[in-house]
């Protein structure tokens, strides 16, 4: 039963405060800061500590797997557990989709909370699937491309994302990602104290010198788009580690190597394009590229995979077709710079959208469409922002936060209090700050702010000034709108979190989001496949990239970018926000309110004024009051009786009000109320009712266990009795036969006759056995080595080893086994053999052939701790790593991903080759037991190799230019008469000679192709390169030569000035 202590609100819950005011609320938060998190009923309050805390490890996650309110303190893991079990239908009511809304201002810790929620949900649904690790790698990948340093936050999300996790029962089957409003303007401009997106700095810190040469990257101080600033040595080292994590995340999720190379070449092209400058041309008033920028233009063209002159035309002029005649309009210097920045912004934005589309493609659920899937959505969106200068992006960000605040108010206040009034419950109305008028100001049609912005954007002659004048005349007298003072080009909006002043400069241009004419056609015809795909794709109403195959177009044709993108940036954001709200309203919400303790990002410091301001505009005081006095769980009579009818322990419980009251009277719950059509419960009542159901379910399991045991025991005794009866019958028949024989012999002794020669006794013949092929196979008893878990097998050296090859198989099973074996051998020959064989022509000592699980265990049974081997799977294309542990063997499945990366199932790191995987885990333990590989297990003997079937693989000339080794011919069908020792020795010598000759040939080929740099990042396969690699190299040489000439001229001029100064009379 539920104890009196369990009937009270849990510790750490602010709804249990005796005195409810701002001082007690602030004191409760300060008391639990840096130790634990805080609840307001079922709403989590998380304060950013600005430092790592030991609260989120694996041990803590295990404690919260099946936690109940009141037994453990509030935690972000408890929110994940609550949502997961509610999705499965374990918390009253049937299975239902859930959503977790994380809100707070910039720097409050929303991104870290999202990562912790994903980590715990993946731990809850542990299905030993690589998909879970892939989902966890999505966040660091998106952080690199979508986060940046701002004044308020070192890792600020410059986009919003909604992650949908799809479940079949309790197993994750797929994931889908939606992104909202990437701040593309950051690519070309950053305010003081801010940086560009992280990925640019990660590339400079993480790429080797050879890779920088390959992509055409020079010293970071030369690039205008990153303001010529880089970090200190410690920061650069951290960025280098981050770059390795991003590369690993790309490999883990499944990006191909060529896709990664093309993507980084495009990013390098964006940086090079930013260094292109223009100067006026005196002849016709047009502009031209400055002499110092020609090298950068050539580099950008090579990195984009387009022709230099075609890119130049897109920058300095506009081509249009009127009545079949081409008209060329030259740009001014400002227009040329705007065109350059527009290309950079759109290219980066489309790369980011493509990453999201690719993630959705690789993580899509692979189930029958008719199977119904449940869902948990996690919303991590940009926080409320109020900078010194606020632009179009800040308006959209704050609009999203207004919408989330309205969603929170509607669920916590409006719907709940409306239910009390409808059910005629005694209730004193709680007032709250309703922000619906602000949403009408921004979103109303046709006179909302975004509608007026679209209207002005449609007029070619409209300017930011006309837009501001339109706002001032339309919203005159509105309490939430204030016009700019004096001649300031701006306006102010009174948001729920305070007044924000916006600078209207650039509003129309950003909302139009145009691209210079002919750029799309130019990039569609790029020889870089990724860039062609990016600009062949169309944009949906919500701003999502929709790739599709389309024939290439001719540059210069009628290719207006707006013809394929009719929606403005504001309209796209409004549609995507509307779809997001529809998803969230169709799910059961859980709320996490993130609080920033101070504005200086100092660890362990709580600024009371900063925290109090956030508590006020979040309406936290009113939230605590409604959670303390209200009833957050309101099931109907039918839902409650259907879920908890088991408590009455009787069949056919009617779904009526009387049954519900009978159920509740049989429990010790207090504080609930009954309405006209539903029941009203406090937020902790669900946990208490779950305990009653768990007790009955436990009792049902015991009853089932006892009954099944009784049934099996009865069947067993019946079989034993039948066996004993049959044995007794056979014994009686034998006794009777023996008695008859004795009687016959006694009768023969009585007769007196002459001796007759006895016939010679025949040797007994074996009884003919029935046809074994017609009998079903006899199941083989499991070995003592495999009597525990599928991958943990205890080793007992004293136990007899199983005799292999004595099992009887049907013809169909033998045929199927041979078919699978042949398919795996073909897979190994075609894709793996060249990657695994060493330079000396031999396999690594740890690689074994297609041996079984038992054979691997028998090889390791007398080996030291840490000994290991890698064997080829018999039933699938892949490998298995068998490890000799303490008293047991562990078998780890090695998965070969479609992008040719090797991953141990459950690990979070991908490897370029099998050899690298083994070397890595010789220094880093394998999760979850952190076991290190120490000693490789060799062959049982040099004459009997367990990979002899792999020795017969023939490498075709197309697979290796060096020829075919002499001994690698198809295996003869007949038996060999030569001695196996000499044969294997000769084969080894021949193979060594062939591989040495092949290696020399490859060395000569490498010397002939020195133009392609080698990289230490990827080995074992042909390296991918940007398509215009040679053009990029020439452009870089030109830039470096120009820089050295400029430096030399400046030094020479300084010297001349000094010498002239010395010659002047004193």
> Token pair 């640019």 is at which residue?
200
| Distance from the Cα of residue 31 to its chain's centroid | 36
Neighbouring-strand partners of residue 593: 45, 103
Q: β-strands 98-103, 287-289: how paired?
A: unpaired
Tokens found for residue 402:
């207004």
Catalytic residue among 28, 41, 107, 349: 107
Query: What is the reported pLDDT for 725?
Result: 94
Catalytic residue among 385, 423, 687, 931: 385
The rounded distance, in Å, linking the Cα atoms of 182 and 186 is 9
The rounded distance, in Å, linking the Cα atoms of 457 and 464 is 9
- Listed as ranges, residues in the chain with pLDDT below 50 are 1-9, 549-565, 770-775, 778-794, 797, 800-807, 954-1021, 1051, 1054-1055, 1058-1066
Catalytic residue among 28, 92, 383, 490: 383
Query: What is the reported pLDDT for 1053?
Result: 56
**935 DSSP 8-state letter:** S
Tokens found for residue 448:
């909302």
The maximal CA–CA distance of the chain, rounded, in angstroms, is 166
Residue 878: how many CB atoms within 10 A of its CB?
16
Catalytic residue among 111, 275, 277, 998: 111
Give the residue from 682, 560, 658 showing the smallest Cα distance to 15.
682
| Distance from the Cα of residue 624 to its chain's centroid | 35
**908 DSSP 8-state letter:** S
16 carries an active-site annotation: no
Strand runs (DSSP E) across 169-310, as ranges?
A: 171-180, 278-280, 287-289
111 carries an active-site annotation: yes
Query: What is the reported pLDDT for 38?
Result: 79
Q: Which helix (H) or strand (E) holds 168?
A: strand 160-168
Give the residue from 84, 41, 45, 39 showing the smallest Cα distance to 66.
84
CA angle in degrees (0–180, nearest 5) for 1047-1050-1054:
140
Q: Which helix (H) or strand (E) holds 419?
A: helix 415-422
274 carries an active-site annotation: no
Residues 6+ positions from 1035 with CB-CB distance below 8 Å: 216, 295, 296, 298, 299, 301, 302
The rounded distance, in Å, linking the Cα atoms of 68 and 686 is 10
Query: What is the reported pLDDT for 418?
Result: 84
Q: What share of the chain is helix, strand, coil (3-state, %, to 5)?
A: 45, 10, 40
Tokens found for residue 251:
């490999």
Query: What is the reported pLDDT for 952?
Result: 54
Query: What is the reported pLDDT for 343?
Result: 94
Query: What is the reported pLDDT for 803?
Result: 45
Query: What is the reported pLDDT for 487?
Result: 82
Query: What is the reported pLDDT for 764?
Result: 57
Mapped to the 3 state alphabet, what secondary structure does 1046-1061 carry?
Answer: HHHHHHHHHHHHHHHH
Judged by DSSP in three states, 482 sits in strand
Tokens found for residue 394:
């800040």
383 carries an active-site annotation: yes
**300 DSSP 8-state letter:** H
342 carries an active-site annotation: no
The rounded distance, in Å, linking the Cα atoms of 534 and 532 is 5
> Cα torsion for 1048, 1050, 1054, 1056, to the nearest 10°?
70
Catalytic residue among 153, 272, 374, 528: 153
The rounded distance, in Å, linking the Cα atoms of 594 and 592 is 6
The answer to whether the Cα torsion of 267, 268, 271, 272 is positive or negative is negative
967 carries an active-site annotation: no
């Amino acid at each position: 039963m539920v104890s009196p202590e369990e009937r009270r609100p849990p510790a750490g819950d602010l709804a249990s405060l005796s005195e409810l005011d701002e001082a007690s609320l602030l004191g409760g938060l300060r008391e639990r800061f840096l130790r634990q998190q805080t609840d307001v009923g079922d709403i989590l309050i998380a304060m950013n500590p600005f430092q790592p805390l030991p609260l989120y490890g694996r041990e803590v996650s295990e404690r919260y797997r099946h936690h109940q309110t009141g037994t453990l303190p509030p935690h972000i893991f408890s929110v994940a557990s609550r949502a997961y079990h509610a999705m499965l239908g374990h918390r009253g009511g049937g299975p239902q989709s859930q959503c977790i809304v994380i809100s707070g201002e910039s720097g409050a810790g929303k991104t870290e909370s999202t990562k912790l929620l994903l980590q715990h949900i993946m731990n809850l649904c542990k299905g030993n699937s690589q998909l879970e690790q892939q989902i966890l790698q999505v966040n660091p990948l998106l952080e690199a491309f979508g986060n940046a340093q701002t004044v308020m936050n070192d890792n600020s999300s410059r986009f919003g994302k909604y992650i949908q996790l799809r479940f079949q029962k309790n197993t994750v089957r797929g994931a889908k990602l939606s992104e909202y409003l990437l701040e593309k303007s950051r690519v070309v401009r950053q305010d003081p104290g801010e940086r560009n997106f992280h990925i640019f700095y990660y590339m400079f810190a993480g790429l080797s010198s050879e890779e920088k040469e390959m992509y055409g990257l020079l010293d970071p101080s030369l690039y205008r788009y990153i303001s010529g600033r880089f970090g200190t040595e410690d920061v650069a080292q951290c960025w280098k580690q981050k770059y390795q994590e991003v590369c690993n995340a790309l490999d883990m999720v499944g990006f191909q190597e060529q896709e990664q190379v093309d993507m980084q070449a495009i990013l390098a092209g964006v940086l090079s394009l930013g260094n292109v400058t223009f100067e006026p041309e005196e002849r016709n008033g047009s502009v031209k590229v400055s002499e110092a920028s020609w090298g950068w233009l050539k580099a950008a063209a090579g990195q984009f995979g387009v022709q230099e002159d075609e890119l130049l035309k897109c920058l300095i002029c506009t081509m249009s077709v009127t009545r079949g005649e081409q008209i060329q309009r030259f740009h001014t210097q400002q227009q040329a710079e705007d065109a350059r920045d527009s290309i950079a912004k759109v290219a980066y934005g489309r790369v980011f959208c493509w990453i999201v589309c690719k993630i959705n493609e690789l993580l899509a659920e692979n189930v029958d469409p008719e199977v119904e899937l449940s869902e948990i959505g996690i919303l991590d969106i940009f926080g409320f922002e109020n900078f010194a200068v606020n632009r179009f992006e800040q308006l959209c960000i704050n609009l999203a936060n207004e919408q989330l605040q309205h969603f929170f108010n509607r669920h916590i206040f409006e719907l709940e209090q409306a239910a009390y009034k409808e059910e005629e419950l005694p209730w004193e109305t709680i007032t709250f700050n309703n922000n619906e008028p602000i949403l009408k100001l921004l979103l109303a049609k046709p006179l909302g702010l975004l509608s007026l912005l679209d209207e002005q954007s449609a007029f070619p002659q409209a300017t930011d000034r006309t837009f501001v004048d339109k706002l001032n005349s339309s919203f005159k007298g509105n309490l939430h709108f204030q016009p700019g003072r004096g001649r300031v080009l701006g306006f102010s909006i009174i948001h729920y979190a305070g007044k924000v002043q916006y600078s209207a400069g650039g509003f129309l241009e950003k909302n139009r989001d145009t691209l210079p004419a002919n750029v799309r056609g130019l990039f569609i015809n790029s020889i870089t496949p990724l860039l062609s795909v990016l600009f062949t794709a169309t944009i949906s109403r919500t701003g999502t990239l929709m790739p599709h195959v389309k024939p290439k177009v001719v540059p210069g044709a009628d290719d207006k970018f707006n013809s394929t993108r009719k929606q403005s940036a504001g309209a796209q954001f409004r549609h995507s926000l509307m779809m997001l709200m529809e998803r969230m309203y169709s799910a059961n919400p859980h709320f996490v309110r993130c609080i920033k303790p101070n504005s200086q990002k100092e660890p362990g410091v709580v600024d009371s004024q900063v925290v109090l301001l956030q508590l006020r505009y979040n309406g936290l005081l009113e939230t605590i009051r409604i959670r303390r006095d209200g009833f957050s769980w309101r099931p109907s009579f039918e839902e409650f009786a259907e879920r908890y009818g088991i408590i009455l322990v009787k069949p056919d419980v009617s779904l009526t009000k009387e049954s519900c009251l009978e159920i509740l009277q049989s429990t010790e719950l207090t504080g609930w109320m009954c309405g006209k059509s539903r029941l009203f419960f406090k937020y902790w009542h669900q946990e208490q009712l779950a305990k009653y159901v768990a007790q009955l379910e436990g009792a049902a399991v015991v009853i089932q266990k006892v009954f099944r045991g009784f049934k099996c025991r009865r069947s067993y005794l019946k079989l034993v009795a039948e066996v004993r009866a049959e044995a007794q019958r056979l014994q009686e028949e034998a006794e009777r036969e023996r008695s008859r024989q004795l009687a016959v012999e006694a009768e023969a002794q009585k007769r007196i006759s002459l001796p007759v020669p006895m016939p010679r006794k025949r040797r007994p013949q074996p009884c003919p056995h029935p046809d074994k092929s017609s009998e079903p196979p006899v199941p083989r008893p499991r070995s003592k080595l495999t009597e525990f878990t599928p991958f943990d097998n205890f080793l007992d050296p004293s136990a007899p080893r199983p005799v292999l090859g004595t099992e009887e198989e049907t013809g169909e099973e033998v045929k199927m086994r041979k078919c699978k074996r042949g398919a795996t051998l073909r897979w190994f020959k075609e894709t793996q053999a060249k990657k695994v064989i060493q330079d000396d022509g031999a396999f690594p000592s740890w690689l074994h052939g297609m041996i079984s699980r038992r054979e691997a265990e028998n090889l390791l049974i007398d080996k030291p701790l840490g000994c290991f081997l890698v064997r080829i799977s018999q039933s699938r294309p892949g490998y298995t790593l068998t490890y000799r542990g303490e008293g047991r063997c562990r078998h780890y499945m090695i998965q070969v991903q479609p992008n040719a990366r090797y991953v141990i199932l459950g690990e979070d790191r991908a490897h370029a080759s099998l050899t690298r995987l083994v070397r890595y885990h010789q220094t880093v333990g394998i999760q979850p037991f952190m076991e290190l590989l120490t000693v490789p297990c060799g062959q049982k003997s040099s004459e009997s190799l367990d990979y002899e079937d792999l020795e017969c693989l023939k490498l075709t000339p197309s697979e290796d230019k060096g020829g075919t080794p002499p001994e690698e011919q198809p295996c003869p069908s007949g038996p060999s008469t030569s001695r196996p020792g000499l044969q294997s020795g000769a084969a080894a010598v021949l193979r060594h000679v062939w591989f040495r000759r092949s290696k020399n040939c490859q060395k000569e080929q490498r010397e002939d192709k020195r133009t392609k740099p080698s990289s230490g990042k990827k080995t074992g396969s042909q390296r991918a390169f940007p398509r215009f690699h040679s053009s990029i190299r020439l452009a870089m040489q030109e830039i470096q030569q120009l820089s050295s000439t400029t430096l030399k001229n400046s030094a020479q001029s300084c010297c001349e000035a000094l010498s002239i100064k010395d010659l002047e009379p004193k």
